[in-house]
Each structure stands twice: as C-alpha cells, then as structure tokens.
Structure 1
Amino acid sequence: MHIFPRVFRSWLTVVLLLPALAQAQFVANDARLLASGCFQCHGTNGKSGAFDALAGDGKQDMLNKLNDQRKKSANASIMYPHARGYTPQQLDMIADYFSKQK
C-alpha cells in the first residue's frame, strides 16, 4: 500500500517532464529548420549552393547583411522577401546556425 504513492510520484514526474524534454529537442532543431529555407540557393548547411556560401560566416556580419536587405525596396533583390519573412529573433537564430557550420 505504501509503494503506490512512490510509484505514482515517479510516473507523475515522468509525465510532467516529457513535454519539457520534447520541447528542448525541438528548440535544438529550430535554428536548422529556419535555416533550411536558405538551403535551396545557398546549399545544404550553407555549402555548395548556387549563390554565396554561408557556412562559417560571422554571425554579426550575416545579421547586418540580412537587416540591410530588410530595409531595401521590394524590387531590390530576391533576398528582400526572404529577409522580411523572419522575425529579428529568427534571423538571429539563422545567422547563429550558419556561423557554426564548417
């Protein structure tokens, strides 16, 4: 009779922790998922694409370029809609992701 509360507490702990563990895994993949929108032109993980490679570029430099694209007119380049399609936080995650690629 005394074992049930202990087992129940253990089970409850697992049930309560599962969403947090799942979210931690999702957050770890968020940056790559966001950056995957760049893979079509800049290559998978920012390597070997038709346009400039992004892998290993400095994070702040990339953020500056993306923010400059956001300020240009809509017809300036194909990058305008892409840069405007993300929040500043998402752009930060994308730049961070590419800066860590070799």
Structure 2
Amino acid sequence: MFKRTLLLGAMAAGWLLTPALGQAQFVANDARLLASGCFQCHGTNGKSGAFDALAGDGKLDMLNKLNDMRKKSAGSSIMVPHARGYTSEQLNMIADYFSKQK
C-alpha cells in the first residue's frame, strides 16, 4: 500500500511539473526567436566579427543600452528603430538570451 501511494505521489508530482518544464522551454525558444532579429548583423550567437559582439555581455548592461537607444532620436543610430520595435519585456528576454551565449 505504501509503495503504491509513493508511486502515485511521484507520478502526480511529475505530471504537475511537466507544464512548468514545457513553459521554461517555450520561454527559451521565444527569447531566441526575438533575438533572431539581431542575428543578421550581430551573428547567430552574438558574435559576427563585423559588428559589436553581444554574446556574454551582462544582461543589465545590454538592457540599459537597449533602453537608452529607445530614447534617442530616430536618425541617430540604425539601432533606434530596432530597439523601439520591442516591448520592455521583449528587450529583457533578448538581453537575457545574449548574456547566456558564449
């Protein structure tokens, strides 16, 4: 009886955790999809050699730079319209994605 209860408890815990694990994977894929807009110039892993490397930059530093770009006048940098095209939450996800790249 005890083994059965223990087994059912373990199965229930696994069943309850499955959506959370799936959600974490969805968020990671979502962040990569958002960051893909940066790949053309900055490389797929944030290292293109032609433009500033984004891989491994600190999340907060990158987020501050992106938020500063959103405040600049439209013609001051090619990055301004790109930064303005994302919500604050999306920029946070992008900064998090590149901060984890090696």
Residues 37, 49 of structure 1: CA spacing in aligned structure 2 closer, same or farther, 3 A cutoff? farther
CA distance in 1, matches of 2:41, 2:89: 22
| Residue 41 of structure 1: aligned partner | 41
Q: Please show how residues 19-98 of structure 1 align to structure 2 within 5 Å.
A: 20=19, 24-98=24-98
Task: Give per-residue Cα distances to partners, 1:56-86, cap 9 Å, x unaligned.
Answer: 0000100110011000000011100000000
Structure 1 vs Structure 2 CA RMSD = 2.0
Structure 2 residues without counterparts, runs of 5 or longer: 1-15
Shift of 1:27: 2.3
Q: Is the 8 A contact 2:55 2:98 kept in 1?
A: yes
Q: Is the 8 A contact 2:41 2:48 kept in 1?
A: no
Q: Is the 8 A contact 2:69 2:79 kept in 1?
A: yes
Give, as a single letter, the amino acid of the residue that structure 2 aligns with 1:52. D
Shift of 1:96: 0.4
Give, as a single letter, the amino acid of the residue that structure 1 aligns with 2:33. L
| Residue 8 of structure 1: aligned partner | none
Residues 37, 65 of structure 1: CA spacing in aligned structure 2 closer, same or farther, 3 A cutoff? same
Equivalent pairs, count:
87
Runs of 4 or more, structure 1, over 4 Å off, are 20-24
Structure 1 residues without counterparts, runs of 5 or longer: 1-16
CA distance in 2, matches of 1:23, 1:64: 27
Percentage of identical aligned residues: 88
Shift of 1:28: 2.5
Q: TM-score, normalised by structure 1?
A: 0.75
Shift of 1:101: 0.5
Task: Give per-residue Cα distances to partners, 1:7-37, cap 9 Å, x unaligned.
Answer: xxxxxxxxxx9xx476554323001110010
